[in-house]
Amino acid sequence: NAGVTQTPKFRVLKTGQSMTLLCAQDMNHEYMYWYRQDPGMGLRLIHYSVGEGTTAKGEVPDGYNVSRLKKQNFLLGLESAAPSQTSVYFCASSYQSPDTQYFGPGTRLTVL
Amino acid sequence: AQKITQTQPGMFVQEKEAVTLDCTYDTSDQSYGLFWYKQPSSGEMIFLIYQGSYDEQNATEGRYSLNFQKARKSANLVISASQLGDSAMYFCAMREGLPLVFGKGTRLSVIA
């Protein structure tokens, strides 16, 4: 039981490049979330999903897209990376809405 | 207006002493949940404790307890018998509706 895993752990991009972050969970959770963490800002929700095939916008969705084609996977895409997207990205999942969220180890992304 | 306010950017505590980390929240909902997470220097987010708005008793988990004062809209985390391993960032979060909203965190340093 690996819990929540994230790929990759580190990545450096140039402005304008694209990439996809992968989140996988093996706990059969319905809900999955993507957050970004910036210094002094806490965690802010980018997008979330309440089940396979569904996605919704969070607090800071601009510049990101997501897909939940399989229940266990939640992908975060950056189509044209910008320096403002330099951050640590966390994926989380929960069984249901009021339940505890379990976090992945994070992905540190730098956009030059 | 901020939904979650953590007024202490940094705290110091002597090993083996108790410490209280403050958290106030803002909501007009009757049903909500409050969470505390720990983020050590390694970066992962670790769930500590949960309090539901209808729970009459304060939540406790080992050395962690949540001092829930509903009328004052506060949900302070109390750590008893601090250990060096408790040095970390601590985030208060609220579930109001679906996703979690996080505070900006408090950095706790435990001194030997």
Which pLDDT belongs to residue A97?
A: 64
**Is B25 part of the contact surface with chain A (CB cutoff 8 Å)?**
no
Range name among A39-43, A82-86, A103-107, B95-99 with the lowest pLDDT average: B95-99
Chain mean pLDDT for chain B? 93
User: What percent of chain A lies above the pLDDT cut of 70?
Assistant: 96
The residues, any chain, with a CB within 8 Å of residue B58's CB and separated by 6 or more, are B51, B65, B66, B67, B68
Say if residue A42's pLDDT is above 90: no
State whether residue B68 is helix, strand or coil.
strand
Which neighbouring-strand residues pair with B88? B108
Q: Yes or no: say if B67 and B20 are a contact pair by the CB < 8 Å rule.
A: yes
CA separation for the pair B41, B108 (Å, rounded): 11
CA separation for the pair B99, B89 (Å, rounded): 21
Chain A residues touching B96 at Cβ < 8 A: none
Question: B112, B88, B87, B92: which is closest to B104 by C-alpha?
Answer: B92
Average pLDDT over residues B64-87: 96
Range name among A42-56, A81-95, B88-102 with the lowest pLDDT average: B88-102
Say if residue B87's pLDDT is above 70: yes
Question: B74, B53, B3, B11: which is closest to A42 by C-alpha?
Answer: B3
Which pLDDT belongs to residue B97?
A: 73
Which pLDDT belongs to residue A1?
A: 65
Residue of A32, A90, A101 to mutate when probing chain B, most B C-beta within 10 A: A101
Nearest CB among B35, B95, B102 relative to A42 is that of B102
Which pLDDT belongs to residue B105?
A: 94
Say if residue B76's pLDDT is above 80: yes
Which pLDDT belongs to residue B1?
A: 62
Please count the other Cβ atoms lying within 10 Å of the Cβ belonging to residue A112. Answer: 10
Q: Yes or no: say if A21 and A7 are a contact pair by the CB < 8 Å rule.
A: yes
Q: Chain B residue with minimal CA distance to A43?
A: B102
Cis peptide before A8 (omega within 30 of 0): yes
User: pLDDT tens digit string along A75-87?
Assistant: 999 999 999 999 9
Please count the other Cβ atoms lying within 10 Å of the Cβ belonging to residue A2. Answer: 9
Please give the radius of gyration of chain B, using alpha carbons only, rounded to the nearest integer.
Answer: 13
φ/ψ region of A53 (left if φ > 0, alpha if ψ in -120 to 50, else beta) reads: left
Average pLDDT over residues A17-24: 97
Average pLDDT over residues A32-40: 92
Nearest CB among A102, A105, A106 relative to B47 is that of A102
Chain A residues touching B4 at Cβ < 8 A: 42
**Is B104 part of the contact surface with chain A (CB cutoff 8 Å)?**
yes
User: pLDDT tens digit string along B27-37?
Assistant: 998 989 999 99
